[in-house]
Amino acid sequence: MGPSVAGGVKKVTDKNNPVSDYGLSKLSAESEVKKILCGKVPYTILSPAAVYGPRDKDIF
Domains of the chain, residue spans: 16-48
Instruction: Specify the pLDDT at position 37.
Output: 92
> What was the pLDDT predicted at 10?
83
The pLDDT value given to residue 28: 95
In whole angstroms, give the CA distance from residue 27 to residue 22. Answer: 9
Neighbours of 36 (CB within 10 A): 10
Average pLDDT, the chain: 84
Q: Can you say how many angstroms the Cα of residue 59 is from the centroid of all Cα atoms in its chain?
A: 16
pTM of the model: 0.64
**More confident of the two residues 57 and 16:** 16
Angle 38-16-33 (CA atoms, 0-180°, nearest 5)?
25
- pLDDT mean over 2-23: 84
Comparing 23 with 47, which gets the higher pLDDT?
A: 23
